[in-house]
Structure 1
């Protein structure tokens, strides 16, 4: 299967009934039927923005049955927060209709906001340096989360027949798990990475599991021709074999 591409919605969206009490608890109106939405995940989730007495918060919602594990995201964000700027989770919960995660806003803006899309020569190297920082900073030793090939093949959806013989590991790191461009926040001044979001897939794996997807997403967001720039800024030579393998693995489920 091909993983669908998420996007910024055109305007406010309906707040699920099960989420309205949570929104009110964190400073929103008692009957918050609609709220500004900053992201719609094509798998079925929505991220709402909430400005109130507690400052700017983001409320993520995953309807029951969709493949968005907000409990895992909360756990992994709390673990990674010891080393990197990631969302400060203030509440996670679930009901029959779905689950939610409330976190405080981080500095910076998504790397796919229009002004960054218009400046890929600045944004792309910043994304690469940010991913290298994540890989160099999060400690493999003691990381309780796995994102390696056997783990992912067990959970894959689709034909995995051509994926049973992975290339040797280049370098084992704690991967982001969804290193697409929107999941890095860039500062306003110099275009450096100042935050990392959507960490449900975070875990130990070959760094090319991230690099293959990160470079793939450049074309979705900035157009073709930016992979070499990204890899040079990250500090690694192209690796067509590992890139091909991990993109095919991504296609059967991240």
Structure 2
């Protein structure tokens, strides 16, 4: 995902959902999806339907997680033949990759690590109806026509099953004014898996956003020693699927 730097066309459906509110584009993903912030306290996501995840999935998972951890409140979700949309109530705070926090990785990176651990500790595995395990991820890739190399079919033994975020890249953690991670967004792939599936992606994404040298800082803040085998496997699986 990227922060739009130029004006972007506003889809008609987004205009309808916004009503009289002003729109500010805040994210653009690699399949043409857009997220807008309104000046009346909402976020509107709109994008083409795709087979990997859906905004319907995201709305369902956020509603499930909402009683157990802080996630955006779903206001509306819908779809048509080609596109889908999701409207949520804005939360206070800033993404961990807001320019303010990009300039302060010594605060932001540990905060993301601690927030990921808090998410894993808060969500009950036994009550979660979704899986983000390796077989499910490989099957999802196959439905999209992605052939996952055979070496990924033999995953490392499970360390600890948790309810994973499913896209734990650092932009998806919100920080409060004191630099504490307090909420999570973009939960369309949330499901049960080895905790290293999330840790691997979260720590890897520090390099994309803050530069090299912060991966182990996040892992240390999460509260574990780096497991190089699982880190390598789940990072490669992320790129392969």
Aligned pairs (5 A) from 1:164-179: 164-179=153-168
Report the counterpart of residue 195 of structure 1 in structure 2: 183
Q: Using the alignment, how far apart are the partners of 1:141 and 1:66 within structure 2?
A: 26
Aligned-pair CA distance for 1:66:
6.9
Q: Deviations over 1:2-49 (max 9, x none)?
A: xxxx1111144211123322222xx437xxxxx310111123211011
1:61 alignment partner, SS class: strand
Contact 2:96 2:174 in 1 (8 A): yes
2:125 alignment partner, SS class: coil
Say yes or no: does 1:139 pair with 2:127: no
Judging by fraction of residues, say which structure has more helix. 2
Q: Using the alignment, how far apart are the partners of 1:160 and 1:199 within structure 2?
A: 26
Report the counterpart of residue 71 of structure 1 in structure 2: 56
Q: Using the alignment, how far apart are the partners of 2:83 and 2:52 within structure 1?
A: 11
Distance 1:11 1:194, change over 3 A: farther
Report the counterpart of residue 86 of structure 1 in structure 2: 71
Q: Using the alignment, how far apart are the partners of 2:156 and 2:122 within structure 1?
A: 24
**Runs of 5+ consecutive residues of structure 1 not aligned to the other structure:** 1-5, 30-34
Distance 1:180 1:170, change over 3 A: same
2:92 alignment partner, SS class: coil
Match of 1:152 among 134, 137, 148: 137
TM-score by length of 2: 0.94
Distance 1:20 1:133, change over 3 A: same
**Runs of 5+ consecutive residues of structure 2 not aligned to the other structure:** none
Aligned-pair CA distance for 1:160:
2.5
Contact 2:3 2:27 in 1 (8 A): yes
Q: Using the alignment, how far apart are the partners of 1:143 and 1:104 within structure 2?
A: 24
Q: Using the alignment, how far apart are the partners of 2:2 and 2:51 within structure 1?
A: 17
Match of 2:111 among 126, 129, 136: 126
Q: Using the alignment, how far apart are the partners of 1:108 and 1:11 within structure 2?
A: 24
Structure 1 runs of 4+ aligned residues shifted over 3 Å read: 64-68
Q: Using the alignment, how far apart are the partners of 1:7 and 1:17 within structure 2?
A: 22
Aligned CA-pair RMSD = 1.4
Q: How many residues align?
A: 237
